[in-house]
Amino acid sequence: MKKLEQLYEGKAKKVFKTDDENLYIVDYKDDATAFNGEKKGTIAGKGVINNIMSNHMFQLLEKQGVPTHFVEQLSERETVVKKVSIVPLEVIIRNISAGSFAKRYGVNEGIVFDQPTIEFSYKNDDLGDPLINDYHAMALKLATADEIETIKKMAFKVNEVMKAYFDTLNVTLVDFKLEFGKTAQGTIILADEISPDTCRLWDKDTGEKLDKDRFRRDLGNVEEAYQEILRRLTGK
Ligand code: TMP
């Protein structure tokens, strides 16, 4: 597999073309941002951890019947993925109140919901990723009604699989963000990443935050939190 020209550089990853027109290579960076890029920093080793964790999660999800973009890990930071066009929606599932949900509705963090919630943000940095509903997404032609139905079903399934899995690692899955992509054939598959950047993960016994909130909120021990999650996932 040959890495050709860079297609795109995002806040946490670069995407490259390859000599196979159906495949891309993603390269995970240590750069960290928060609040739509207003806060910038580096989390040493994050790219390696997020690459390994994403691939671990995607393979687990594939085994449970969720189609993903994962093809093959190439190196510590690089992975071959299926070429998709990203549906410009950030799909957020929550099991427990935290972050923008707690702020928006004026409630404490840590309230356990009877059922998971789902919400969408329009993936648009210039607008600050505004909250959007299904009808707005359809009006803006970001996705069709069928695609939104598929995305919702897949997102809840991902939640069931991940919640049960993290439970075995003594970790509470509080909430997370997913992105979906469309293949050339028009199939919706899970894309982007699943990492401490995109999930809230709390230690089940102590409630200690083991995710990017340590960076967002200046809680310290950021690298250690990412390493601890990797250790629980892989034993390393
Ligand atoms: P929020 O509470 O700030 O809306 O975040 C919900 C979840 O989504 C949390 O697990 C962090 C993740 N997330 C991202 O992956 N990217 C983002 O840009 C934001 C704002 C949140």
pLDDT at 1: 85
Please report the pLDDT score of residue 236 as a whole number: 83
Q: Which of 36, 92, 173 to mutate to test the pocket of ligand 1 (most atoms within 8 A of CB)?
A: 92
Mutation probe of ligand 1 site: the residue of 177, 199, 209 with most atoms within 8 A of C-beta: 177
Question: Measured between alpha carbons, how far is 190 from 60 in angstroms, rounded to an integer?
Answer: 12
Q: What is the mean pLDDT of the chain?
A: 98
User: What distance in angstroms lies between residue 2's CA and the mean position of ligand 1's atoms?
Assistant: 33
Secondary structure of the chain in HEC code, one letter for each residue: CCEEEEEEECCCEEEEEECCCCEEEEEECCEEEECCCCEEEECCCHHHHHHHHHHHHHHHHHHCCCCECEEEECCCCEEEEECCEECCEEEEEEEECCHHHHHHHCCCCCCEEEEEEEEEEECCHHHCCCEECHHHHHHCCCCCHHHHHHHHHHHHHHHHHHHHHHHHCCEEEEEEEEEEEECCCCCEEEECCCCCCCEEEEECCCCCECCCHHHHCCCCCHHHHHHHHHHHHHCC
Other beta carbons within 10 angstroms of residue 232's beta carbon come to: 17
Q: How far is the CA of 20 from the centre of ligand 1 (A)?
A: 33
**CATH architecture for the domain at 3-82:** 2-Layer Sandwich (3.30)
Site to probe by mutation for ligand 1, drawn from 46, 127, 192, 198 as the one with most ligand atoms within 8 Å of Cβ, is 198
CATH pick for 85-220 out of 1.10.10.60, 3.40.30.10, 3.30.470.20, 3.40.50.300:
3.30.470.20
Residue 96: Cβ within 10 Å count: 18
- CA 172 to centroid of ligand 1, rounded, Å: 16
- Listed as ranges, residues in the chain with pLDDT below 50 are none
> Following CA atoms 91, 123, 25, 166 in sequence, which dihedral angle do they give, to the nearest 10 degrees?
-30
- Ligand 1 atom closest to residue 177's alpha carbon, by position in its atom list: 8
pLDDT digits (tens, 9 = 90+) for 188-210: 999 999 999 999 999 999 999 99
* Ligand 1 atom 2 nearest Cα: 99
Residues with CB under 6 A from ligand 1: 92, 98-101, 129, 175-177, 197-200
Report pLDDT for 113: 99
Residue-range domain boundaries for the chain: 3-82, 85-220
How many Å apart are CA 180 and CA 88, to the nearest integer? 8
